[in-house]
Amino acid sequence: MLTSHLAAALLLAAPPPALEIPFERFRLPNGLHVILSVDHSAPIVGVDVRYDVGSRDEPPGRTGFAHLFEHLMFQGTVHLPKGEADRLIEAAGGSSNGATSEDGTEYWQQVPSSALEQALYIEAERMGFTLQVLDQAKLDNQRDVVKNERRETMEMQPYGAAWPALRAALWNPEFPYHWLPIGSHQDLTAATLDDVKDWFRRGYGPGNASLAIAGDFDPREARRLVERWFGAIPAGGPIARTRQVPRPLSAIVRVEVQDAVQLPRLYLAWQSPAEYQPDDAPLDLAADVLASGKSSRLVRRLVMEEKRAQSVWVAQSALALAGTFLVVATPKPGVAIEALQAAVDEEIARLAREGPTEEELLRAKNRIESGAVFALEPVGGFSGRAAVLNRYHFETGDPGYLARDLARYRDATAADVRAAVGRWLSRPRVELTVVPKGAAAAAGVGR
């Protein structure tokens, strides 16, 4: 799903031409999908490898495996000792990183064009020669690293306790978005070396991966290099999975979380459509109208005019199996959470009743499209061209889906937004409040 990176954008008088990324693709006999997109405007190339495996593929009791293995695949290979890949990339003047989400695992590099073969060699090593040197010491080391990451990014962060509580309340325990990709301490502790090796065999072969190359390169030479370095890696296979459907909430779920914070915070969360489903784009536009920029409804009213909120944030976060429409609001000192929630509900009800104005809708569309355009400037990175091609390949089967994705927003009407808000945000939701530790706790309502 597209995300916005600009605070404002000019309104367009007429629809712009379709935005497309040129590409060609082929598939190796071992199943590896390869996507090539040539751009000679700068001597840089981006390499992105995406595995169709994420935390949604973890069975209950084994959460955190996908994220843990992302770490383990940076710990060296048969031919590249730990740290050597990073040294080679840095010596070439490049950069690299990796990430795990609910729906996938990704590794990327952005390097000078002259270092393309080196980048492909490193990713082929990661894919084909990690398992052979994976041992208990590496597992124990990275298990501790991931546990510390969980503490630093969640448990020790203000309001960090809200996220696992929100997931647990919004999704039934069998549904794979019930837990966060980082997993739990208990499940990470329980992971054995055999468990982790089996996890690798299931999901990290060429048959479950896609390689995208974007930037300044010769496509014939790139194909030769891909065949050389990846062609002999055993195929493995795609993960066998059945599409899971979440259980809808039957009533409002109220949760209170105590945390080491100075101010309370309100979270309102609804189950919403999965990515590319009919109401996904209209809800994305609704989120922009509600809380993107000083002119948005909630920011203008609660932050700028009434000065009752420190901040307000709204997003439609769509994933492969389902989405979440989320409102997060932090009140000013002395302002009751109940008053803030009532104001949020008033604005949502008004949007469902009246829809956005044409000016609001145009502003939201241009902000989202501008974000998509500017994100494509780098060829590498998490949102660069190689990553976009790879993401669309796995999410839609078409690496060139960008134009059709943007069309979902361009074609959406005020009536579409009004109807989507009325359809989805009138349903039962999670109402979660974070309160300072020591505050009187209200009884939470179970699922």
Which pLDDT tens digit goes with each residue over 202-216?
Answer: 899 999 999 999 999
* Domain 24-230: CATH superfamily, name plus number: Metalloenzyme, LuxS/M16 peptidase-like (3.30.830.10)
Higher pLDDT, 222 or 4: 222
Which pLDDT tens digit goes with each residue over 88-121?
Answer: 999 999 999 999 999 999 999 999 999 999 999 9
Residues 67 and 170: their CA atoms lie apart, in Å, by: 22
DSSP element (H, E) containing 57: none
Helix (H, G, I), strand (E, B) or coil at 34: strand
Q: How far is CA 89 from CA 44, 46, 216, in A?
A: 13, 12, 17
Does residue 249 come out as left (phi exceeding 0), alpha (psi in the -120 to 50 range) or beta?
A: beta
DSSP element (H, E) containing 441: none
DSSP-derived letter for residue 332 is: P
Q: Where in the chain do CATH 3.30.830.10 domains reside?
A: 24-230, 253-436
Q: What pLDDT score does 241 carry?
A: 82
| Edge-to-edge order in the sheet of strand 209-215 | 24-27, 33-38, 209-215, 44-51, 105-112, 95-100
Q: How far is CA 58 from CA 45, 61, 127, 174, 265, in A?
A: 33, 8, 20, 11, 31
* pTM metric for this prediction: 0.92
CA 341 to chain centre: 27
Which pLDDT tens digit goes with each residue over 324-360?
Answer: 999 999 999 999 999 999 999 999 999 999 999 999 9
Higher pLDDT, 186 or 59: 186
Higher pLDDT, 357 or 59: 357
Domain 253-436 has CATH 3.30.830.10: yes
Which pLDDT tens digit goes with each residue over 391-430?
Answer: 999 999 999 999 999 999 999 999 999 999 999 999 999 9
